[in-house]
Amino acid sequence: FYVDGTLIRMFRNHESAGVAYPSRQAMRMYSSLWDAEDWATQGGRVKTDWSKAPFVATFGDIAINGCVWKGSASSCAASSSSWMNQAAASSDLQKMQWVQRNYMIYNYCKDVNRFPQGLPAECSLS
């Protein structure tokens, strides 16, 4: 996912390793604001500053780039030169890592309390 031209999240396709991937199904993106400081903010260490309320989120100039499926036919080309078959540029990956180091509060791949039986399979795959 890119926000303002910066890669912020990548979910790699590891279907061959048994990790579900939305390659032939619709994918949706939801956004919400909620109080999750008891689990999603470094175990409650990062507190919500309620003096800043009310909180408002807006989206503008959204550009969604994806494939439209109709039955078993996709609107995207199957060629290896298609945008979805290209690797992210190393500069994009470096920016994403910087954003994650400096802004990401919660990473489910590090939440051993939420997943006491073991982290999701994709967390151990590169």
Percentage of the chain surpassing pLDDT 90? 29
Give CA–CA dist 41/52, Å, rounded: 17
Give CA–CA dist 119/126, Å, rounded: 14
Give CA–CA dist 31/99, Å, rounded: 19
Cβ atoms within 10 Å, residue 8: 14
What are the tokens at 82? Answer: 């298609």
Task: Tell me if the pTM is above 0.85.
Answer: no
**How much is the pLDDT for 68?**
79
What are the tokens at 5? Answer: 């031209």
3-state SS, 52-81, equals HCCCCCCCCCCCCCCCCEECCEECCCCCCC
pLDDT digits (tens, 9 = 90+) for 49-108: 889 888 887 778 887 777 777 777 777 767 767 767 788 899 999 999 999 999 888 889
Give CA–CA dist 67/76, Å, rounded: 5
44 pLDDT more than 80? no
